[in-house]
């Protein structure tokens, strides 16, 4: 439903051209939560802001639900923007207006509903984000998480089809981040809203996204389902993000493993396989001993996954490797 055809962008500053997005083809499906991750300056914000034409492309076409939005002029652009909500890292709320008035603002600007209808819709939106009791407060009286909930309610006011999230949880602590991400996931599934979010944290991607694009120097360098990209990263930038999120120092780990005897392997489990008693049965069958060097069990969105780094000693190691290779796990022999 969001279709980029060779879209590119360069900013012009003092007669100089600063490339921000290389020619990019990208399709984001309706109802999908699509994450874009990259380091500072990679071009994430540019890509996101091209979707609702906050930035004008230097070339290429952006087609949304079959409509080429690249050429939209004033009235068409205003109507189109009502279909695309946006939330921001620093919330962008009006400090002189109450929570209810902030949420009502896009509806007042659209000028399509009566005062009573706007009041009803604002109540409904505040209920959705759990803020009814705070309707008459001012932004300064709210916590960061509550401010972002106001931002979400405001973004949903005109019943958009797409929600753009610009580092929406970067200013929040981990617990508040989790609750805001949970709210986004709920909105996505209840309203079938397409969500495109940008972040520099792999953890945000892991918790809510269906697919992820990794950006580096104005290009998408890796793209795929989150489990695929997260568990089997191909590009060096992706690998760095994954290691960062797991707080693993690769060279430190290599040094640690240098003192360990035996074959070293990493097993990755997904879904039901995460809970299967594989290690014990392979050890009994082949007589190998194993020690666990590193491990993690977590979730990618709703799907459990596990990753274990093991050292195998004794017994029939080749037979054990063959057992793992036959099982419903991904096997990497590290040494």
Ligand X SMILES: Nc1ncnc2c1ncn2[C@@H]1O[C@H](COP(=O)(O)OP(=O)(O)OP(=O)(O)O)[C@@H](O)[C@H]1O
User: Which residues contact ligand X (rule: CB under 6 A)?
Assistant: 11, 13, 18, 20, 38, 40-46
Do 184 and 33 touch, CB atoms closer than 8 A? Answer: yes
Cβ count near 254 (within 10 Å): 11
| Minimum distance from residue 202 beta carbon to ligand X (Å) | 14
| Minimum distance from residue 64 beta carbon to ligand X (Å) | 20
Query: DSSP letter at 254?
Result: H
| Minimum distance from residue 208 beta carbon to ligand X (Å) | 18
Q: For ligand X, which is the closer residue by CB, 170 or 253?
A: 170
Q: For ligand X, which is the closer residue by CB, 20 or 227?
A: 20
| Minimum distance from residue 247 beta carbon to ligand X (Å) | 21
CA gap 69, 320 in Å, rounded: 57
Q: For ligand X, which is the closer residue by CB, 148 or 268?
A: 148
Do 234 and 40 touch, CB atoms closer than 8 A? Answer: no
H and E: helices and strands count for the chain: 12, 14
Q: Which residues pair with 17 in a beta bridge?
A: 12
| Six-digit token string for 228 | 């695929």
| Minimum distance from residue 4 beta carbon to ligand X (Å) | 15
Start-to-end CA distance of the chain, whole Å, equals 45
| Minimum distance from residue 227 beta carbon to ligand X (Å) | 24
Q: For ligand X, which is the closer residue by CB, 41 or 295?
A: 41
Q: For ligand X, which is the closer residue by CB, 179 or 245?
A: 245
């Amino acid at each position: 439903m969001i279709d980029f055809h060779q879209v590119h962008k360069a900013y012009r500053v003092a007669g100089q051209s600063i490339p921000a997005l290389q020619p990019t083809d990208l399709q984001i499906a309706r109802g999908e939560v699509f994450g874009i991750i990259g380091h500072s300056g990679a071009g994430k914000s540019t890509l996101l802001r091209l979707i609702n034409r906050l930035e004008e492309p230097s070339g290429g076409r952006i087609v949304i639900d079959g409509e080429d939005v690249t050429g939209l002029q004033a009235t068409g652009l205003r109507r189109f923007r009502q279909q695309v909500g946006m939330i921001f890292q620093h919330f962008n709320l009006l400090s002189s207006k109450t929570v209810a008035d902030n949420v009502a603002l896009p509806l007042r600007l659209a000028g399509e509903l009566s005062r009573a209808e706007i009041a009803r819709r604002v109540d409904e939106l505040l209920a959705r984000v759990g803020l009814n009791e705070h309707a008459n407060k001012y932004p300064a009286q709210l916590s960061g998480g509550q401010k972002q909930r106001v931002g979400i309610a405001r973004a949903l006011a005109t019943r958009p089809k797409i929600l753009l999230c610009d580092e929406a949880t970067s200013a929040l602590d981990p617990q508040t981040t989790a609750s805001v991400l949970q709210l986004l996931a709920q909105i996505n599934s209840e309203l079938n809203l397409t969500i495109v979010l940008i972040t520099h944290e792999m953890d945000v991607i892991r918790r809510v996204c269906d697919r992820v694009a990794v950006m580096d120097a104005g290009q998408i360098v890796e793209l795929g389902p989150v489990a695929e990209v997260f568990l089997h990263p191909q590009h060096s930038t992706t690998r760095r993000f994954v290691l960062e999120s797991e707080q693993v120092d690769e060279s430190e780990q290599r040094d640690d493993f240098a003192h360990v005897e035996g074959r070293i392997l990493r097993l990755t489990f997904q879904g039901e396989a995460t809970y299967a008693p594989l290690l014990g049965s392979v050890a009994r069958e082949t007589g190998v001993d194993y020690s666990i060097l590193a491990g993690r069990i977590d979730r990618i969105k709703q799907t459990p996954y596990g990753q274990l780094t093991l050292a195998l000693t004794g017994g029939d190691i080749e037979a054990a490797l063959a057992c793992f290779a036959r099982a419903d796990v991904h096997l990497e022999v590290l040494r």
